[in-house]
Amino acid sequence: EFLNMIQKNKKPMDLLMSYYQCAIMEIETKFRVLNQEYSLEYDRNPIEGIKTRVKSYESILKKIRKKNIPINLESIEENIRDIAGVRVICSFPEDIYEIAESFLRQDDIILIEKKDYIKEPKPSGYRSLHLIVQVPIFLQKTKKFVYVEVQLRTIAMDFWASLEHKLRYKKNIPAEQEKLIQEELYDCSIQSAELDKRMQDIRNMIIKANGDGEE
């Protein structure tokens, strides 16, 4: 039914997907600009890297099924808010909140939802700050607000999430080992959170020693 809908609405669907791509470009540029400003002003780069993706049709279909979303363009657009995804990898945990704050202060960004899986990690051990925002993209005649999911994480959070995803997704994990594997992964997430904290503490010590607010 979903494939049918895509085929019948090929042009509007392609157009919608291109809007998501444009929204990703807008958001990515905003983070690049922030990083550049930090670089010039404080001589440091709080953003280690940015990864972007438009959700595949396969993943969209999975979510339609999971959330029981009616299969039409409007409802997909309104109900699946992570079709456009931007992942911002920061150096230190405190950078995440600083960068997120600067981003959300921008007056064309509308915050729809904030999920702080750093303060409250998921049961799996997953940590990241998720922001669902709307960003305007300027078309020939109109301005269109597009949903984007921004995930902010440290290198350590990204390391854990990437490997956990690789290990767990689409793999048949034997039932008798599932609990042990879950516990191991959770333990690794605790260790990576401790590393984050230690690196942040070291950074704060250096800032303090330098006494001028920045290392």
Classified as helix, coil or strand, 55 is: coil
Which one of the listed residues 41, 58, 113, 149 is annotated catalytic? 149
Is there binding between residue 9 and ligand 0O2 (CB under 6 A)? Answer: no
Helix ranges (H only) for 47-174 are 57-67, 73-79, 93-105, 155-168
Cβ closest to ligand 0O2, residue 122 vs residue 208: 122
Largest Cα–Cα distance of the chain, in whole Å? 64
Among 84, 88, 89, 161, binds ligand 0O2 (CB under 6 A): 161
Q: Which range in 36-44, 123-131, 133-141, 195-203 contacts ligand 0O2 by CB under 6 A?
A: 123-131
Number of H helices, E strands in the chain: 7, 5
Which residues on adjacent β-strands are paired with residue 136?
145
Classified as helix, coil or strand, 70 is: coil
Is there binding between residue 122 and ligand 0O2 (CB under 6 A)? Answer: yes
Binders of ligand 0O2 among residues 165 to 184 (CB under 6 A) are: 165
Among 9, 45, 102, 124, binds ligand 0O2 (CB under 6 A): 124
Binders of ligand 0O2 among residues 52 to 71 (CB under 6 A) are: 55, 59
Q: State the Cα–Cα distance between residues 72 and 61, nearest whole angstrom.
A: 12
Tokens of 83: 């079709």
Among 9, 91, 130, 182, binds ligand 0O2 (CB under 6 A): 130
Is there binding between residue 92 and ligand 0O2 (CB under 6 A)? Answer: no
Chain-centroid distance of CA 94 in Å reads: 16
Q: How far is the CB of 32 from ligand 0O2 (least distance, A)?
A: 21
Q: Would you say 112 and 132 are in contact if contact means Cβ atoms under 8 Å apart?
A: yes
Whether residue 149 lies in the annotated active site = yes
What amino acid is encoded at 124 in this protein? S
Give catalytic residue positions: 149
Residues engaged in binding ligand 0O2 (CB under 6 A):
55, 59, 82, 115, 122, 124, 126, 130, 161, 164-165
